[in-house]
Amino acid sequence: MKTLIKKLAQIPGPSGYENEIRAAVRAEVEPYADEIIVDALGNLIVRKGKKGPDGLKIMLSAHMDEIGVMATHVDKNGFIRFTKLGGVYPAYCVSGHVRFMNGTQGVINVERTRGNQKLPTLDKLYIDVGATCPEDCPVGVGDAAVFEREYMELGNRIVTKALDDRIGVVVLVEALRQMSEKNITSPHEVYFVFSAQEEVGTRGAGTSAYRIDPDVGLSIDVTGTGDTPKGSKMEVRLGDGPAVKVRDSGMLADPRVVEWMTSTAEKHEIPYQREILLGGSTDARAIQITRAGVPAGCLSIPSRYIHSPSEMVDFGDVQHSIQLMVALLSEPVAQL
């Protein structure tokens, strides 16, 4: 599974440019799918099973896209100005490496201002690709890029770019694989959605939920932690298990969904945490308000340094997330 994490995290796929990562995910899930749809927005929708007498139509969503940047201007010396695709923090950018979708590599730096010790703003940053003028610059206005960072293992911790939300994608791929290989028959009709354009407004999850019209929906995404020096005051730690979202800034999780997730974790002795995220949201926000409304929640993988080129997760949390997902799908849902 670590090989799969490394493979999927390293594939470039900023919002709106998910073609390459979608093809890789499709190759992983195709042997286990009953039906596969790629919709007009670029979502990969994988159906498994049919709803039985005690079953529900369940939508699971993990987004394929990652944060990135887009060129807005090339100056007379060949330096590239850019805007953000998703939640890019300027403080994480300086000296960062990027790769454009056409393969061009570059480094980000900041305008020098005498005596200025403040954190840079996006308009003070530029990308240097080694060009000397617009004519020899291989990047043009509208070209998109992602951050580059090598995959690392630090003990039981995994560090790389794009774990938001390729790690959620891995959880869904592995849950589907394990259920198929272990011949676990779910009472539910399950839609594994690998969504597009989450980082720019949970767009793919909204269109997917409208198509599927599920009885219940879950997003699978990362969440922050409160276990770093002077970090957020948050009761989530790496290594203490997946987190069951109670609320975030865009959604109140349905209490019945929270109960379903926590009671299943307790029944199967899977460690878990309860999550309240004060900033940010997930695909569950879009699922919840689709059509006439959907009971929704979120399975969160604790992550440090979200929206940086070096996001970190605990491998044990990933394994327990898969274990909980398989357990949730293997049994009827009494709470709904």
Q: In order of start, what are the domains of the chain with their CATH numbers?
A: 2-66+161-330 (3.40.630.10), 71-148 (2.40.30.40)
Q: Which pLDDT band holds residue 231 (cuts at 50, 70, 90)?
A: confident
pLDDT number for residue 335: 86
The reply to whether 198 belongs to the active site is: yes
Angle at 277 between CA 271 and CA 281, to 5 degrees: 110
pLDDT number for residue 312: 98
| 221, 281 Cβ separation under 8 angstroms | no
Share of the chain above pLDDT 90, in %: 95
The residues with which 82 forms a beta bridge, in sequence order, are 71
Half-sphere exposure of residue 193, counting CA atoms within 13 Å on the CB side?
37
Each residue's pLDDT tens digit, 140-156: 999 999 999 999 999 99
pLDDT number for residue 129: 97
Each residue's pLDDT tens digit, 284-336: 999 999 999 999 999 999 999 999 999 999 999 999 999 999 999 999 999 88
Give the residue among 180, 256, 192 at the shortest CA–CA distance from 60: 192
3-state secondary structure 46-86: EEECCCCCCCCEEEEEEECCECEEEEEEECCCCCEEEEEEC
| 33, 15 Cβ separation under 8 angstroms | no
Q: Give me the mean pLDDT over the 246-259 stretch.
A: 97
Each residue's pLDDT tens digit, 64-104: 999 999 999 999 999 999 999 999 999 999 999 999 999 99
| 171, 325 Cβ separation under 8 angstroms | yes
Catalytic residue among 18, 28, 174, 198: 198
Q: Give me the mean pLDDT over the 182-199 stretch.
A: 96
Burial degree of 307 (CB within 10 A; 0-12, 13-18, 19+): buried
pLDDT number for residue 114: 66
Give the residue among 230, 193, 226 at the shortest CA–CA distance from 208: 193
Strands 105-110 and 97-100: antiparallel
pLDDT of residue 162 exceeding 90:
yes
pLDDT number for residue 119: 82
Each residue's pLDDT tens digit, 96-138: 999 999 999 999 999 987 666 678 899 999 999 999 999 999 9
pLDDT of residue 56 exceeding 80:
yes
Residue 142 has a CB neighbour count (10 Å cut-off) of: 8
Q: Rounded mean pLDDT of the chain?
A: 96
Each residue's pLDDT tens digit, 7-23: 999 999 999 999 999 99
Share of the chain above pLDDT 70, in %: 99
State the Cα–Cα distance between residues 159 and 169, nearest whole angstrom.
Answer: 16
DSSP string, 103-157: S-EEEEEE---TT--SPPPGGGEEEE-S-SSGGG-S--TT-EEEEE---EEETTE
Burial degree of 284 (CB within 10 A; 0-12, 13-18, 19+): buried
State the Cα–Cα distance between residues 279 and 248, nearest whole angstrom.
Answer: 6
